[in-house]
Amino acid sequence: MLTVRGSGILLHPTSLPGTLGGGVFGSDCCRFIDWLASTGQTYWQVLPMGEIGPGNSPYMSSSAFAGNILLIDLAELASQGWLSREDLAPLPGFRADRVDFALVQPFRLERLRRAARNFFANRHDSVFWLYEEFCTAESAWLEDYALFKTIAGHENWREWNHWPKNLAHRDPQALLTIKMSYPDEIGFWKFCQWSFSRQWSNLKRYANERGVRIIGDVPIFVAYQSADVWAHQGLFELDGKGRPTVVAGVPPDYFSETGQLWGNPLYRWDVHRETGYAWWLARLRHALQLADLVRIDHFRGFAAYWEIPADAPNAIAGKWEPGPGEKLFAAFEKTFPRLPIVAEDLGVITPDVVALRDKFKLPGMRILQFAFGDGETNHFLPHHYVQNTVAYTGTHDNDTTTGWWSALPDHEKNFARKYLGTGGEAINWVMMNALSRSAANIVIFPMQDVLGLSSEHRMNLPGKPDGNWEWRFSWDQIKPEHTRALAEMTAENGRSAGQ
Protein backbone atom coordinates (compact mmCIF):
# COMPACT_ATOMS: atom_id res chain seq x y z
CA MET A 1 0.00 0.00 0.00
CA LEU A 2 1.29 3.48 -0.90
CA THR A 3 1.40 5.91 2.03
CA VAL A 4 3.84 8.64 0.94
CA ARG A 5 3.43 11.16 -1.88
CA GLY A 6 6.01 11.02 -4.64
CA SER A 7 6.66 11.79 -8.28
CA GLY A 8 8.69 10.14 -10.99
CA ILE A 9 9.60 9.72 -14.64
CA LEU A 10 8.94 6.83 -17.03
CA LEU A 11 11.99 6.22 -19.20
CA HIS A 12 13.51 2.95 -20.34
CA PRO A 13 17.34 2.86 -20.20
CA THR A 14 17.52 2.24 -23.95
CA SER A 15 16.14 5.78 -24.40
CA LEU A 16 19.10 7.41 -22.66
CA PRO A 17 21.68 9.40 -24.64
CA GLY A 18 25.05 7.89 -25.49
CA THR A 19 27.47 7.40 -28.36
CA LEU A 20 26.99 3.71 -29.14
CA GLY A 21 23.52 3.65 -30.66
CA GLY A 22 21.35 3.24 -27.58
CA GLY A 23 21.22 3.90 -23.85
CA VAL A 24 23.33 1.75 -21.51
CA PHE A 25 24.19 1.43 -17.82
CA GLY A 26 26.88 4.08 -18.04
CA SER A 27 27.65 7.70 -17.21
CA ASP A 28 24.49 8.99 -18.93
CA CYS A 29 22.47 6.77 -16.61
CA CYS A 30 24.11 8.39 -13.59
CA ARG A 31 23.53 11.82 -15.09
CA PHE A 32 19.83 11.03 -15.55
CA ILE A 33 19.55 9.89 -11.93
CA ASP A 34 21.23 13.13 -10.83
CA TRP A 35 18.72 15.10 -12.90
CA LEU A 36 15.82 13.19 -11.32
CA ALA A 37 17.15 13.98 -7.86
CA SER A 38 17.68 17.66 -8.77
CA THR A 39 13.98 17.99 -9.62
CA GLY A 40 12.79 16.23 -6.46
CA GLN A 41 11.71 13.04 -8.22
CA THR A 42 11.50 9.98 -6.01
CA TYR A 43 10.83 7.34 -8.69
CA TRP A 44 12.34 6.15 -11.95
CA GLN A 45 10.05 3.72 -13.77
CA VAL A 46 11.51 1.42 -16.42
CA LEU A 47 10.08 -1.16 -18.82
CA PRO A 48 10.94 -4.87 -18.44
CA MET A 49 14.72 -5.21 -18.23
CA GLY A 50 14.86 -8.62 -19.91
CA GLU A 51 16.18 -9.45 -23.34
CA ILE A 52 14.19 -8.08 -26.26
CA GLY A 53 12.07 -10.40 -28.38
CA PRO A 54 10.21 -10.18 -31.70
CA GLY A 55 9.78 -6.57 -32.82
CA ASN A 56 12.45 -5.63 -30.24
CA SER A 57 9.80 -5.83 -27.54
CA PRO A 58 10.96 -6.05 -23.91
CA TYR A 59 7.69 -7.88 -23.18
CA MET A 60 8.69 -11.03 -25.13
CA SER A 61 11.97 -12.00 -23.51
CA SER A 62 13.82 -15.29 -23.84
CA SER A 63 13.98 -15.43 -20.04
CA ALA A 64 11.92 -14.10 -17.14
CA PHE A 65 15.15 -13.78 -15.15
CA ALA A 66 17.95 -12.78 -17.55
CA GLY A 67 18.78 -9.13 -18.22
CA ASN A 68 19.00 -7.34 -21.56
CA ILE A 69 22.69 -7.60 -22.44
CA LEU A 70 22.38 -4.71 -24.91
CA LEU A 71 22.22 -2.45 -21.84
CA ILE A 72 25.72 -3.43 -20.68
CA ASP A 73 28.08 -0.45 -20.67
CA LEU A 74 30.99 -1.37 -22.94
CA ALA A 75 33.04 1.54 -21.59
CA GLU A 76 32.98 -0.04 -18.14
CA LEU A 77 34.18 -3.34 -19.62
CA ALA A 78 37.01 -1.41 -21.26
CA SER A 79 37.91 0.13 -17.90
CA GLN A 80 38.35 -3.42 -16.60
CA GLY A 81 40.80 -4.11 -19.42
CA TRP A 82 38.50 -6.47 -21.31
CA LEU A 83 37.99 -4.16 -24.31
CA SER A 84 40.21 -1.64 -26.06
CA ARG A 85 39.55 2.00 -26.84
CA GLU A 86 39.15 1.03 -30.51
CA ASP A 87 36.29 -1.30 -29.52
CA LEU A 88 34.32 1.75 -28.37
CA ALA A 89 34.41 3.58 -31.71
CA PRO A 90 30.77 4.14 -32.82
CA LEU A 91 29.49 3.05 -36.21
CA PRO A 92 28.66 5.86 -38.67
CA GLY A 93 25.04 4.70 -38.86
CA PHE A 94 24.30 5.08 -35.15
CA ARG A 95 21.58 7.64 -34.45
CA ALA A 96 21.18 9.91 -31.45
CA ASP A 97 17.36 9.99 -31.65
CA ARG A 98 16.52 6.32 -32.35
CA VAL A 99 17.89 2.88 -31.51
CA ASP A 100 18.63 1.06 -34.76
CA PHE A 101 18.54 -2.45 -33.32
CA ALA A 102 19.70 -3.99 -36.61
CA LEU A 103 22.98 -2.07 -36.19
CA VAL A 104 23.24 -1.99 -32.42
CA GLN A 105 22.66 -5.66 -31.66
CA PRO A 106 25.48 -7.22 -33.73
CA PHE A 107 27.85 -4.39 -32.75
CA ARG A 108 27.26 -4.97 -29.04
CA LEU A 109 27.31 -8.78 -29.25
CA GLU A 110 30.63 -8.81 -31.08
CA ARG A 111 32.23 -6.62 -28.43
CA LEU A 112 30.70 -8.56 -25.58
CA ARG A 113 32.25 -11.69 -27.05
CA ARG A 114 35.63 -9.97 -27.18
CA ALA A 115 35.26 -8.88 -23.58
CA ALA A 116 34.29 -12.40 -22.48
CA ARG A 117 37.29 -13.95 -24.23
CA ASN A 118 39.62 -11.49 -22.52
CA PHE A 119 37.94 -12.02 -19.17
CA PHE A 120 38.23 -15.80 -19.30
CA ALA A 121 41.82 -15.60 -20.53
CA ASN A 122 42.73 -14.13 -17.12
CA ARG A 123 40.99 -16.42 -14.66
CA HIS A 124 43.37 -15.35 -11.91
CA ASP A 125 42.08 -11.79 -12.18
CA SER A 126 41.02 -10.41 -8.79
CA VAL A 127 37.37 -10.12 -9.91
CA PHE A 128 37.01 -13.67 -11.24
CA TRP A 129 35.76 -14.90 -7.87
CA LEU A 130 32.90 -12.38 -8.11
CA TYR A 131 31.83 -13.98 -11.37
CA GLU A 132 31.94 -17.45 -9.83
CA GLU A 133 30.01 -16.22 -6.81
CA PHE A 134 27.32 -14.80 -9.10
CA CYS A 135 27.06 -18.05 -11.07
CA THR A 136 26.58 -20.01 -7.86
CA ALA A 137 24.02 -17.60 -6.40
CA GLU A 138 21.93 -17.46 -9.60
CA SER A 139 22.38 -21.07 -10.72
CA ALA A 140 18.68 -21.91 -10.32
CA TRP A 141 17.90 -19.98 -13.52
CA LEU A 142 21.33 -19.15 -14.98
CA GLU A 143 22.30 -22.73 -15.88
CA ASP A 144 19.13 -23.33 -17.90
CA TYR A 145 19.33 -19.89 -19.51
CA ALA A 146 22.94 -20.34 -20.67
CA LEU A 147 22.14 -23.82 -21.98
CA PHE A 148 19.04 -22.55 -23.76
CA LYS A 149 20.92 -19.72 -25.49
CA THR A 150 23.77 -22.03 -26.45
CA ILE A 151 21.53 -24.70 -27.95
CA ALA A 152 19.29 -22.13 -29.65
CA GLY A 153 22.30 -20.56 -31.34
CA HIS A 154 23.50 -23.91 -32.67
CA GLU A 155 19.97 -24.69 -33.84
CA ASN A 156 19.82 -21.45 -35.86
CA TRP A 157 17.37 -19.98 -33.33
CA ARG A 158 14.59 -22.42 -34.24
CA GLU A 159 11.83 -22.78 -31.66
CA TRP A 160 12.91 -25.28 -29.07
CA ASN A 161 10.26 -27.89 -29.91
CA HIS A 162 12.00 -28.24 -33.31
CA TRP A 163 15.33 -29.12 -31.72
CA PRO A 164 16.43 -32.77 -31.61
CA LYS A 165 14.02 -34.57 -29.30
CA ASN A 166 16.63 -35.39 -26.68
CA LEU A 167 17.41 -31.68 -26.32
CA ALA A 168 13.82 -30.47 -26.58
CA HIS A 169 12.81 -32.89 -23.81
CA ARG A 170 15.94 -32.22 -21.77
CA ASP A 171 17.52 -35.67 -21.72
CA PRO A 172 20.22 -35.39 -19.00
CA GLN A 173 22.90 -37.09 -21.09
CA ALA A 174 22.18 -34.83 -24.07
CA LEU A 175 22.42 -31.73 -21.90
CA LEU A 176 25.68 -32.97 -20.37
CA THR A 177 27.09 -33.42 -23.87
CA ILE A 178 26.22 -29.79 -24.68
CA LYS A 179 27.92 -28.61 -21.48
CA MET A 180 31.05 -30.57 -22.32
CA SER A 181 31.07 -29.53 -26.00
CA TYR A 182 30.42 -25.78 -25.70
CA PRO A 183 31.87 -24.48 -22.40
CA ASP A 184 33.03 -21.21 -23.97
CA GLU A 185 29.58 -20.38 -25.35
CA ILE A 186 27.89 -21.24 -22.06
CA GLY A 187 30.48 -19.13 -20.27
CA PHE A 188 29.81 -16.21 -22.61
CA TRP A 189 26.13 -16.03 -21.72
CA LYS A 190 26.92 -16.28 -18.01
CA PHE A 191 29.53 -13.53 -18.32
CA CYS A 192 26.98 -11.25 -19.97
CA GLN A 193 24.44 -11.82 -17.20
CA TRP A 194 27.08 -11.18 -14.54
CA SER A 195 28.06 -7.94 -16.28
CA PHE A 196 24.41 -6.85 -16.51
CA SER A 197 23.77 -7.65 -12.85
CA ARG A 198 26.94 -6.02 -11.60
CA GLN A 199 26.42 -2.79 -13.52
CA TRP A 200 22.71 -2.44 -12.74
CA SER A 201 23.24 -3.19 -9.05
CA ASN A 202 25.72 -0.33 -8.87
CA LEU A 203 23.30 2.03 -10.63
CA LYS A 204 20.37 1.04 -8.44
CA ARG A 205 22.49 1.72 -5.38
CA TYR A 206 23.49 5.08 -6.89
CA ALA A 207 19.80 5.96 -7.39
CA ASN A 208 18.70 4.81 -3.95
CA GLU A 209 21.46 6.82 -2.28
CA ARG A 210 20.03 9.92 -3.99
CA GLY A 211 16.48 9.27 -2.88
CA VAL A 212 15.32 7.73 -6.18
CA ARG A 213 13.50 4.38 -6.09
CA ILE A 214 13.19 2.09 -9.11
CA ILE A 215 9.80 0.88 -10.36
CA GLY A 216 10.29 -2.27 -12.43
CA ASP A 217 7.93 -4.07 -14.78
CA VAL A 218 6.99 -7.77 -14.73
CA PRO A 219 4.99 -9.10 -17.72
CA ILE A 220 2.38 -11.60 -16.55
CA PHE A 221 3.19 -14.04 -19.37
CA VAL A 222 6.48 -15.30 -20.81
CA ALA A 223 7.47 -15.99 -24.40
CA TYR A 224 7.15 -19.54 -25.73
CA GLN A 225 10.72 -19.37 -27.08
CA SER A 226 12.19 -18.91 -23.65
CA ALA A 227 14.41 -20.72 -21.22
CA ASP A 228 11.52 -20.73 -18.73
CA VAL A 229 9.08 -22.70 -20.87
CA TRP A 230 11.80 -25.09 -22.10
CA ALA A 231 13.14 -25.71 -18.58
CA HIS A 232 9.73 -25.93 -16.84
CA GLN A 233 7.45 -27.51 -19.43
CA GLY A 234 5.16 -28.96 -16.78
CA LEU A 235 4.21 -25.46 -15.60
CA PHE A 236 2.68 -24.51 -18.97
CA GLU A 237 -0.24 -25.72 -21.10
CA LEU A 238 1.73 -27.77 -23.64
CA ASP A 239 1.02 -30.98 -25.52
CA GLY A 240 3.28 -34.04 -25.69
CA LYS A 241 5.39 -32.44 -28.41
CA GLY A 242 5.96 -29.30 -26.40
CA ARG A 243 3.58 -27.10 -28.36
CA PRO A 244 1.06 -24.81 -26.64
CA THR A 245 -2.51 -26.08 -26.61
CA VAL A 246 -3.93 -22.70 -25.62
CA VAL A 247 -2.43 -19.21 -25.68
CA ALA A 248 -2.93 -15.78 -24.14
CA GLY A 249 -4.68 -12.69 -25.47
CA VAL A 250 -7.63 -10.41 -24.80
CA PRO A 251 -11.17 -10.57 -26.20
CA PRO A 252 -12.68 -8.28 -28.84
CA ASP A 253 -13.42 -4.80 -27.55
CA TYR A 254 -13.90 -1.20 -28.61
CA PHE A 255 -10.34 -1.04 -29.90
CA SER A 256 -10.26 -4.34 -31.85
CA GLU A 257 -13.09 -6.34 -33.41
CA THR A 258 -11.01 -9.53 -33.29
CA GLY A 259 -9.32 -8.96 -29.93
CA GLN A 260 -5.60 -9.41 -29.44
CA LEU A 261 -3.85 -12.73 -29.99
CA TRP A 262 -0.61 -12.51 -27.99
CA GLY A 263 0.41 -16.13 -28.42
CA ASN A 264 2.13 -16.64 -25.05
CA PRO A 265 1.65 -20.10 -23.52
CA LEU A 266 -0.71 -20.14 -20.54
CA TYR A 267 0.13 -21.43 -17.08
CA ARG A 268 -1.02 -24.68 -15.55
CA TRP A 269 -2.11 -22.94 -12.40
CA ASP A 270 -3.01 -26.19 -10.66
CA VAL A 271 0.59 -27.36 -11.00
CA HIS A 272 1.90 -24.01 -9.77
CA ARG A 273 -0.38 -24.33 -6.73
CA GLU A 274 1.00 -27.81 -5.98
CA THR A 275 4.53 -26.37 -5.89
CA GLY A 276 3.52 -23.55 -3.56
CA TYR A 277 3.95 -21.16 -6.50
CA ALA A 278 7.72 -21.66 -6.25
CA TRP A 279 8.49 -20.42 -9.78
CA TRP A 280 6.45 -17.25 -9.32
CA LEU A 281 8.00 -16.57 -5.92
CA ALA A 282 11.46 -16.93 -7.45
CA ARG A 283 10.46 -14.63 -10.28
CA LEU A 284 9.16 -11.91 -8.00
CA ARG A 285 12.16 -12.24 -5.69
CA HIS A 286 14.49 -11.76 -8.66
CA ALA A 287 12.47 -8.78 -9.95
CA LEU A 288 12.79 -7.13 -6.54
CA GLN A 289 16.56 -7.44 -6.73
CA LEU A 290 16.37 -5.18 -9.79
CA ALA A 291 13.70 -2.77 -8.51
CA ASP A 292 12.24 -1.38 -5.30
CA LEU A 293 8.69 -2.11 -6.40
CA VAL A 294 7.28 -3.68 -9.56
CA ARG A 295 4.35 -3.08 -11.84
CA ILE A 296 2.78 -6.41 -12.83
CA ASP A 297 1.44 -6.14 -16.36
CA HIS A 298 -2.10 -7.39 -17.15
CA PHE A 299 -3.03 -7.85 -13.50
CA ARG A 300 -6.58 -8.81 -14.45
CA GLY A 301 -5.19 -12.12 -15.75
CA PHE A 302 -4.68 -13.27 -12.16
CA ALA A 303 -8.42 -13.04 -11.54
CA ALA A 304 -9.46 -14.42 -14.93
CA TYR A 305 -7.60 -14.73 -18.25
CA TRP A 306 -8.70 -15.06 -21.87
CA GLU A 307 -7.82 -18.56 -23.12
CA ILE A 308 -7.54 -18.94 -26.91
CA PRO A 309 -7.04 -22.21 -28.83
CA ALA A 310 -3.47 -22.31 -30.08
CA ASP A 311 -4.55 -22.81 -33.69
CA ALA A 312 -7.08 -19.95 -33.69
CA PRO A 313 -6.50 -17.17 -36.28
CA ASN A 314 -7.54 -14.45 -33.80
CA ALA A 315 -8.83 -13.98 -30.25
CA ILE A 316 -12.57 -14.24 -31.01
CA ALA A 317 -12.82 -17.94 -30.14
CA GLY A 318 -11.36 -17.50 -26.66
CA LYS A 319 -13.07 -17.94 -23.31
CA TRP A 320 -12.56 -16.66 -19.77
CA GLU A 321 -10.88 -19.03 -17.34
CA PRO A 322 -10.28 -18.42 -13.62
CA GLY A 323 -6.79 -17.35 -12.61
CA PRO A 324 -4.99 -18.24 -9.38
CA GLY A 325 -6.56 -15.30 -7.56
CA GLU A 326 -6.06 -14.98 -3.82
CA LYS A 327 -3.98 -18.13 -3.44
CA LEU A 328 -1.06 -16.72 -5.45
CA PHE A 329 -1.12 -13.34 -3.74
CA ALA A 330 -1.39 -14.95 -0.31
CA ALA A 331 1.83 -16.79 -1.17
CA PHE A 332 3.36 -13.49 -2.29
CA GLU A 333 2.26 -11.76 0.92
CA LYS A 334 3.72 -14.50 3.10
CA THR A 335 7.12 -14.13 1.41
CA PHE A 336 7.02 -10.36 0.77
CA PRO A 337 4.87 -8.97 3.63
CA ARG A 338 4.70 -5.39 2.30
CA LEU A 339 3.82 -6.56 -1.23
CA PRO A 340 5.77 -3.98 -3.26
CA ILE A 341 3.51 -4.47 -6.29
CA VAL A 342 1.64 -2.05 -8.56
CA ALA A 343 -1.35 -3.66 -10.26
CA GLU A 344 -1.71 -2.74 -13.95
CA ASP A 345 -5.51 -2.79 -13.79
CA LEU A 346 -6.33 -1.15 -17.12
CA GLY A 347 -8.77 -2.36 -19.75
CA VAL A 348 -12.09 -4.07 -19.00
CA ILE A 349 -11.93 -4.50 -15.24
CA THR A 350 -14.60 -6.62 -13.56
CA PRO A 351 -15.54 -6.69 -9.85
CA ASP A 352 -13.42 -9.78 -9.18
CA VAL A 353 -10.30 -7.92 -10.35
CA VAL A 354 -11.07 -4.96 -8.08
CA ALA A 355 -11.73 -7.32 -5.16
CA LEU A 356 -8.39 -9.09 -5.67
CA ARG A 357 -6.49 -5.81 -5.91
CA ASP A 358 -8.17 -4.32 -2.84
CA LYS A 359 -7.93 -7.42 -0.66
CA PHE A 360 -4.14 -7.16 -0.82
CA LYS A 361 -4.13 -3.33 -0.74
CA LEU A 362 -2.33 -3.11 -4.07
CA PRO A 363 -2.21 0.30 -5.78
CA GLY A 364 -3.93 0.42 -9.16
CA MET A 365 -3.22 2.67 -12.13
CA ARG A 366 -5.05 5.69 -13.57
CA ILE A 367 -4.31 7.20 -16.99
CA LEU A 368 -5.34 10.82 -17.50
CA GLN A 369 -5.50 10.49 -21.29
CA PHE A 370 -8.42 8.06 -20.77
CA ALA A 371 -10.42 10.53 -18.67
CA PHE A 372 -12.41 12.71 -21.05
CA GLY A 373 -14.84 10.47 -22.90
CA ASP A 374 -17.65 9.87 -20.41
CA GLY A 375 -18.25 13.07 -18.49
CA GLU A 376 -17.80 13.64 -14.76
CA THR A 377 -18.28 9.98 -13.85
CA ASN A 378 -15.16 8.83 -15.70
CA HIS A 379 -13.00 6.67 -13.42
CA PHE A 380 -9.80 8.28 -14.74
CA LEU A 381 -10.67 11.89 -13.83
CA PRO A 382 -8.42 13.09 -10.99
CA HIS A 383 -11.25 13.95 -8.59
CA HIS A 384 -12.00 10.19 -8.41
CA TYR A 385 -8.45 9.18 -7.45
CA VAL A 386 -7.66 7.55 -4.11
CA GLN A 387 -4.32 7.76 -2.34
CA ASN A 388 -3.32 4.16 -3.06
CA THR A 389 -2.93 4.89 -6.77
CA VAL A 390 -0.19 5.39 -9.34
CA ALA A 391 -1.38 7.99 -11.86
CA TYR A 392 0.09 8.70 -15.30
CA THR A 393 -0.52 11.19 -18.08
CA GLY A 394 0.06 8.18 -20.36
CA THR A 395 2.09 4.98 -20.41
CA HIS A 396 4.62 3.59 -22.89
CA ASP A 397 1.67 2.28 -24.93
CA ASN A 398 0.03 5.72 -25.23
CA ASP A 399 0.73 8.60 -27.54
CA THR A 400 2.66 11.49 -26.05
CA THR A 401 0.31 13.98 -24.40
CA THR A 402 1.03 16.59 -27.06
CA GLY A 403 0.31 14.07 -29.81
CA TRP A 404 -2.78 12.77 -28.02
CA TRP A 405 -4.19 16.29 -27.68
CA SER A 406 -3.73 17.06 -31.38
CA ALA A 407 -5.79 13.99 -32.34
CA LEU A 408 -8.44 14.22 -29.60
CA PRO A 409 -12.07 14.41 -30.86
CA ASP A 410 -13.69 17.82 -30.38
CA HIS A 411 -16.24 16.67 -27.80
CA GLU A 412 -13.50 15.20 -25.59
CA LYS A 413 -11.26 18.20 -26.14
CA ASN A 414 -14.05 20.59 -25.14
CA PHE A 415 -14.74 18.64 -21.95
CA ALA A 416 -11.00 18.52 -21.16
CA ARG A 417 -10.70 22.28 -21.60
CA LYS A 418 -13.58 22.83 -19.20
CA TYR A 419 -12.42 20.26 -16.64
CA LEU A 420 -8.77 21.32 -16.69
CA GLY A 421 -9.49 25.04 -17.02
CA THR A 422 -7.27 25.46 -20.04
CA GLY A 423 -7.34 26.64 -23.62
CA GLY A 424 -4.98 23.83 -24.54
CA GLU A 425 -1.69 25.74 -24.41
CA ALA A 426 1.20 23.69 -22.96
CA ILE A 427 -1.29 20.85 -22.50
CA ASN A 428 1.46 18.50 -21.32
CA TRP A 429 2.16 20.71 -18.29
CA VAL A 430 -1.55 21.27 -17.65
CA MET A 431 -2.07 17.50 -17.53
CA MET A 432 1.01 16.93 -15.39
CA ASN A 433 -0.11 19.58 -12.92
CA ALA A 434 -3.59 18.04 -12.70
CA LEU A 435 -2.01 14.73 -11.71
CA SER A 436 0.49 16.27 -9.33
CA ARG A 437 -2.32 18.05 -7.45
CA SER A 438 -4.40 14.87 -7.22
CA ALA A 439 -4.79 12.53 -4.24
CA ALA A 440 -2.74 9.76 -5.95
CA ASN A 441 0.31 9.07 -3.82
CA ILE A 442 2.51 8.39 -6.85
CA VAL A 443 2.40 10.24 -10.17
CA ILE A 444 4.56 9.23 -13.12
CA PHE A 445 5.25 11.27 -16.25
CA PRO A 446 6.74 9.85 -19.45
CA MET A 447 9.91 11.76 -20.28
CA GLN A 448 8.35 12.77 -23.61
CA ASP A 449 5.69 14.73 -21.72
CA VAL A 450 8.25 16.63 -19.68
CA LEU A 451 9.89 17.63 -22.97
CA GLY A 452 6.56 18.39 -24.72
CA LEU A 453 7.29 16.04 -27.64
CA SER A 454 4.93 15.07 -30.47
CA SER A 455 3.61 11.69 -31.64
CA GLU A 456 6.74 10.77 -33.58
CA HIS A 457 8.49 10.38 -30.23
CA ARG A 458 6.09 7.83 -28.69
CA MET A 459 7.67 4.61 -27.42
CA ASN A 460 5.17 2.00 -28.59
CA LEU A 461 2.08 1.75 -30.79
CA PRO A 462 0.34 -1.56 -29.91
CA GLY A 463 -0.42 -3.64 -32.98
CA LYS A 464 2.29 -1.97 -35.05
CA PRO A 465 4.86 -4.68 -35.87
CA ASP A 466 7.94 -2.50 -36.28
CA GLY A 467 9.39 0.88 -35.37
CA ASN A 468 8.58 0.56 -31.66
CA TRP A 469 10.85 0.77 -28.60
CA GLU A 470 13.36 2.94 -30.50
CA TRP A 471 12.90 6.48 -29.10
CA ARG A 472 15.82 8.27 -27.43
CA PHE A 473 16.25 11.75 -26.01
CA SER A 474 19.34 13.96 -26.01
CA TRP A 475 20.60 16.20 -23.23
CA ASP A 476 20.13 19.37 -25.24
CA GLN A 477 16.37 18.68 -25.30
CA ILE A 478 16.20 19.26 -21.54
CA LYS A 479 15.93 23.02 -21.15
CA PRO A 480 16.43 24.88 -17.84
CA GLU A 481 12.73 25.73 -17.87
CA HIS A 482 11.83 22.00 -17.97
CA THR A 483 13.98 21.29 -14.94
CA ARG A 484 12.72 24.33 -13.04
CA ALA A 485 9.03 23.71 -13.80
CA LEU A 486 9.22 20.03 -12.82
CA ALA A 487 11.02 20.83 -9.56
CA GLU A 488 8.57 23.59 -8.64
CA MET A 489 5.49 21.52 -9.46
CA THR A 490 6.83 18.58 -7.47
CA ALA A 491 7.63 20.70 -4.42
CA GLU A 492 4.37 22.68 -4.49
CA ASN A 493 2.35 19.47 -4.34
CA GLY A 494 4.32 17.86 -1.54
CA ARG A 495 5.98 15.24 -3.71
CA SER A 496 9.68 16.07 -3.39
CA ALA A 497 12.09 13.72 -1.67
CA GLY A 498 12.07 14.33 2.08
CA GLN A 499 8.84 16.35 2.11
pLDDT tens digits along 77-104: 999 999 999 999 999 999 999 999 999 9
Average pLDDT over residues 191-215: 98
Q: What is the pLDDT of residue 126?
A: 79
Q: What is the pLDDT of residue 304?
A: 97
| Distance (Å, whole) CA 350 – CA 327 | 19
Q: What is the pLDDT of residue 493?
A: 97
Average pLDDT over residues 287-291: 97
| Distance (Å, whole) CA 71 – CA 13 | 7
Interval 302-312: pLDDT, tens: 999 999 999 99
pLDDT surpassing 80 at residue 257 = yes
pLDDT surpassing 70 at residue 288 = yes
pLDDT surpassing 90 at residue 463 = no
pLDDT band at 185 (very low <50, low <70, confident <90, very high): very high
pLDDT surpassing 90 at residue 253 = no
- Mean pLDDT (the chain, rounded): 96
Q: What is the pLDDT of residue 454?
A: 97
Q: Which residues are marked as active site? A: 297, 344, 397
Q: How many CB atoms lie within 10 A of CB 30?
A: 15
Q: What percent of the chain has pLDDT over 90?
A: 94
Q: What is the pLDDT of residue 499?
A: 66
User: pTM for this structure?
Assistant: 0.96
Amino acid at 158: R
Average pLDDT over residues 103-114: 98
Q: What is the pLDDT of residue 264?
A: 96
Interval 29-73: pLDDT, tens: 999 999 999 999 999 999 999 999 999 999 999 999 999 999 999
pLDDT surpassing 80 at residue 498 = no
Q: What is the pLDDT of residue 315?
A: 95
Beta-sheet pairing, 6-10 with 442-446 = parallel
Average pLDDT over residues 144-173: 97
Range in 251-255, 341-345, 380-384 with the lowest mean pLDDT? 251-255
Average pLDDT over residues 255-274: 93
pLDDT band at 462 (very low <50, low <70, confident <90, very high): confident
